[in-house]
Amino acid sequence: MILAVAEALGGGAIRATRALGKMGVFLGVSFARAATPPYRAGNIVKQVHFIGVKSVLVIVLTAAFTGMVLALQGYNTLRRFGAEGVLGSVIALSLIRELGPVLSALMVTGRAGSALTAEIGIMRIGEQIDSLETMGIDPIRYLVAPRLLGLLLSVPLLTAIFDVVGIFGGYLVGVKLLGVNAGLFFGQMEANVELVDVTNGIWKSLAFALLIGWVCTFKGYFTGRGAEGVSQATTSAVVVSSVLVLVCDYFLTSVLL
Amino acid sequence: MTGGPPGRNVICEPCALDPYTGGDQEPILRLIGVEKTLDGQKVLDGVSLEIPRSRITAIIGLSGAGKSLILKHMIGLMKPDRGQVLVGGVDINRLSRRELDGVRNRFGMLFQTGALFDSMNVFENVAFPLREKTALTEAEVRDKVRGILEKVGLEAAEEKFPDELSGGMVRRAALARAVVMDPEIILFDEPTTGLDPIIRNSILNLICRTYHEHHFTMVMISHDLPDIFHWCHHVVVVHDGKVVEVGAPGEIQNSVNPFVRQLVEGDIAGPVQLM
């Protein structure tokens, strides 16, 4: 009995180590391909369009309502302490440090990450990746590297858009609806938000972009058999990416604070 | 192309080349003692075979015998656990990624499903290797692709996407893509499976015409028995991950090996009992 449990645990540990090693090698190779020429600028632009431009609407909507909710909640909480004046800085800091990078990453995972996994997975089961190989074209260079670079370029920009739109949403509710003084709203924001807050947000968004790209392309590239395999890979990619974004956020915050 | 009298399914003129007999005819591709185990099951068990240059070689056998795996080993899509795959005398499993890509430039491959890129139309699919691997101008690419599409009868379908094509059209487009780079060796993984007899014959006719025009080395997995014997030079019979017989079509047709006899004649009774 004890032997069987030990064997099961050991087997699980070996499998997990193997899977992590495979993922690590995949990331290393993908980075190497992304960093060395030829760069396939056309493919990268296409990915920035797909991941970035096509995500703008969902980012704007999410950001606007997040900023508005922050304003509502923040105002009601701060009013208890007579501190409504700092509403602007509370909204801006929450968005720039935390919510902007995290929610942008989660939105990109749901909208673009899942699509990346499904697209690569369908190419795998349809032998299109094998077909690339037979033509002497490296599929990691052709498929994975541009998507990784597309994410690394798009996610920080989407995060910046999220921050700006979120602050604007907070301004609409805080200033126009709840009557906080506009000068106070922006004055406090200017006084309390520092450059390091913005750069930390950018670092986070870059880390999240890397995580999303890594997990989603890996899951698609090594998808299971048939439509069911692609469906499982897509679900798994979204779940794993989202959880990893949140876990990574905690550790990054603890390091960057 | 040399075996037996032409029947009504014979789809191209007999070829002037003699059947492959080994000897001084250096093979372009050779597998030596290739072994492969997948999910704990040995799927290739010491496969050794030679593919003669500028001939059509048919690989036949039951479904699941390991034919497609042999093809994948030939082009380096799979690595053997043991054994060697020599292309022009070079073991492709000892090559770097870049060197392997260079060797693959000598190949064209037609997959069973066609494996066309579904985000590209027919023209873009056929143009893809030219755009990626050559320095041809766009005008040159256009001329070459249109020329090949005309040969395969798809000139009117160049704007169509793979999901708008019939099974036969997909195979023809895939054949056009496989030959567009003028490869030395073309691998066909069941190019006619699932097609009706007329379309099947049109595909075979196209393959035959392509052969007569260019004399590529062709390796073809096929279940088209006994028709296959009329239009190939060399036959490899695979069973349970092993090569059980190799020879000219006539030799295989007259084989005394009980499994080969059962396969050729399509008998239910024999060493292979499916039910």
Nearest Cβ partner of A134 from B97, B104, B117? Answer: B104
Q: Which residues of A touch B181 (CB under 8 A)?
A: 135
pLDDT digits (tens, 9 = 90+) for B206-264: 888 888 888 889 999 988 777 788 878 899 999 989 999 998 888 888 888 888 888 88
Per-residue pLDDT, averaged over A204-208, amounts to: 96
| Element (DSSP H or E) covering residue B186 | strand B185-189
The residues spanned by each domain of chain B are: 1-8+25-106+185-268, 116-182
At B153 the pLDDT is 85
Q: In 3-state terms, what secondary structure has residue B52?
A: strand
Confidence of residue A243 (pLDDT cuts 50, 70, 90): very high
Q: How many CB pairs under 8 A join A and B?
A: 51
Torsion of CA A240, A246, A249, A254, to 10 degrees: -120
| Contact of B27 with B63, CB cutoff 8 Å | no
Query: Is the Cβ pair B115, A128 closer than 8 Å?
Result: yes
The CA-based dihedral angle spanning residues B138, B144, B148, B154, taken in that order and rounded to the nearest 10 degrees = 30
| Inter-chain CB proximity A134 and B132 less than 8 Å | no
ipTM above 0.90?
no
pLDDT of residue B3: 42
CB-closest option in A123, A131, A136 to B111: A131
Considering only B69-73, B187-191, B202-206, which range has the smallest mean pLDDT?
B202-206
Chain B residues whose beta carbon lies within 8 Å of the beta carbon of residue A135:
104, 128-129, 132-133, 181
> Residues of A near B (CB-CB distance < 8 A)?
122-123, 126-128, 130-131, 133-138
Say whether A131 and B132 touch across the interface (CB within 8 A).
no
Q: What is the mean pLDDT of residues A226-244?
A: 94
- Domain range for residue A234? 2-256
Model confidence pLDDT, tens digit, residues A63-100: 999 999 999 999 999 999 888 889 999 999 999 999 99
Name the CATH superfamily housing domain B1-8+25-106+185-268: P-loop containing nucleotide triphosphate hydrolases (3.40.50.300)
Number of domains in chain A: 1
Evaluated on CA atoms A142, A143, A147, A150, the torsion sign reads: positive
Q: Is B44 helix (H, G, I), strand (E, B) or coil?
A: strand
